[in-house]
């Protein structure tokens, strides 16, 4: 999707749909991480897909809003602003990186490459945020965040070829 594209009903609908999908994938399936109080979820797959399918602006909005809503409604109030920013940045970076990769690469391979960026941003973003809250104890969440990021981009790499067949390019 062209980020300079005028906001129309289709764009708004797909952005809202991906925000809702991000929320559901984050809020419904939770695997608690011992010692951190957090959880691993498949929501990061939708964050990555939001960037690839919707582009940097609308993908960032969908990813940030959906993920932040999950924190807000799940009782993780302190994390809402950080989650919004981190997930929005992930989707925007993924969109840019994906668009710069050679078109000849299979979409799942490009998704995995983007996933490396998303995992680094995820782990570093939460580490920086949590250092202000927990100090050195924030390091305990890094392994779980890496696992979450890797799981997210693997799921996204599996789903992307299917979604590209379902969602016509002119729709978004």
pLDDT at residue number 3: 47
What are 109-121's pLDDT values in tens digits?
999 999 999 999 9
From CA 64, how far away is CA 19, in angstroms rounded? 8
Handedness of CA 145, 150, 153, 156 (dihedral sign): negative
Among candidates 54, 56, 46, which has minimal Cα distance to 153? 46
What are 15-57's pLDDT values in tens digits?
999 999 999 999 998 888 776 677 889 999 999 999 999 999 9
CB 14 within 8 A of CB 53: yes
CB 47 within 8 A of CB 67: yes
pLDDT at residue number 168: 62
Handedness of CA 88, 92, 97, 102 (dihedral sign): positive
CB 49 within 8 A of CB 153: no
From CA 138, how far away is CA 149, in angstroms rounded? 17
From CA 142, how far away is CA 112, in angstroms rounded? 20
Q: What does CATH list as the number for 9-171?
A: 1.10.1760.20
Query: What pTM does this model have?
Result: 0.91
Among candidates 32, 64, 7, 59, which has minimal Cα distance to 148? 32
CB 85 within 8 A of CB 66: no
What are 61-104's pLDDT values in tens digits?
999 999 999 999 999 999 999 999 999 999 999 999 999 999 99
pLDDT at residue number 43: 95
pLDDT at residue number 6: 66
Q: Domain locations in the chain? A: 9-171
């Amino acid at each position: 999707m062209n980020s300079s594209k005028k906001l129309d009903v289709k764009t708004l609908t797909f952005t809202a749909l991906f925000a809702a999908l991000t929320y559901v994938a984050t809020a419904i399936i939770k695997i608690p991480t011992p010692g951190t109080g957090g959880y691993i979820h498949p929501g990061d797959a939708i964050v990555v897909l939001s960037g690839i399918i919707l582009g940097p602006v609308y993908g960032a909005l969908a990813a940030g809003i959906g993920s932040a809503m999950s924190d807000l409604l799940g009782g993780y109030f302190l994390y809402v602003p950080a989650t919004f920013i981190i997930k929005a940045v992930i989707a925007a970076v993924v969109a840019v990186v994906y668009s710069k990769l050679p078109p000849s690469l299979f979409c799942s391979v490009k998704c995995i490459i983007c996933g490396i960026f998303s995992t680094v941003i995820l782990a570093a973003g939460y580490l920086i945020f949590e250092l202000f809250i927990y100090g050195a104890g924030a390091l305990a969440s890094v392994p779980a965040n890496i696992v979450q990021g890797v799981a997210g981009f693997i799921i996204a790499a599996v789903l992307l070829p299917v979604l590209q067949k379902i969602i016509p390019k002119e729709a978004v």
